Amino acid sequence: MKEINLDEIKAKAKKKADDAVNATKKAAGDAFRWGIENPEKVVAIIGVTAALMKSTQSLVVNHRMKVERNRIDHTYYDPSTGFHWDLVRKASNNDRMRIIELKREGLETYDILKSLKLIK
């Protein structure tokens, strides 16, 4: 069985870390020099990056709002029990009116939603 030399492993790890730091410093220096030599390209890149970030943000927010709206449309919250019921379709205004009427008559939420074919 081969003996493990911790000093050798530490030295190799330190060399790899030093090489990575040096490569990063060189890349950063090269990028900085390029930026100094090409200020018009830097301005253009900054503008394109800002526009791209803004459009991406708009898409993310729009998607999140659509998902939330879909969740709201396809659930029914019963405040008397605290349950959220998953609906198979969006409840119409007539469905909502009928739910209120039937709850006043004392029917259970499950029975009402089942009769309106809002749940399976």
- Residue 55: is its pLDDT beyond 90? no
* Residue-by-residue DSSP string for 52-64: HHHHHHHHHHHHH
Q: What number is the average pLDDT over the span 27-37?
A: 93
List CB contacts of 42: < 8 A, sequence separation 6 or more. 35
- Residue 58: is its pLDDT beyond 90? no
Structure tokens at 105: 């008559």
- Residue 1: is its pLDDT beyond 70? no
The CA-based angle 112-68-50, given to 5 degrees, is 170
- 80-114: pLDDT as tens digits: 889 999 999 999 999 999 999 999 999 999 999 99
pTM check: above 0.75: no
113 neighbors 81 (Cβ within 8 angstroms): no
79 neighbors 45 (Cβ within 8 angstroms): no
| pLDDT score for 80 | 85
> To which residue do tokens 């943000």 refer?
57
- Residue 36: is its pLDDT beyond 90? yes
Q: What number is the average pLDDT over the span 40-48?
A: 93
List CB contacts of 95: < 8 A, sequence separation 6 or more. 116, 118
With bands split at pLDDT 50, 70 and 90, how would you rate the model's confidence at 39? very high
Q: What is the mean pLDDT of the chain?
A: 92
- Distance from C-alpha of 56 to C-alpha of 4, rounded to nearest angstrom: 51
116 neighbors 93 (Cβ within 8 angstroms): no
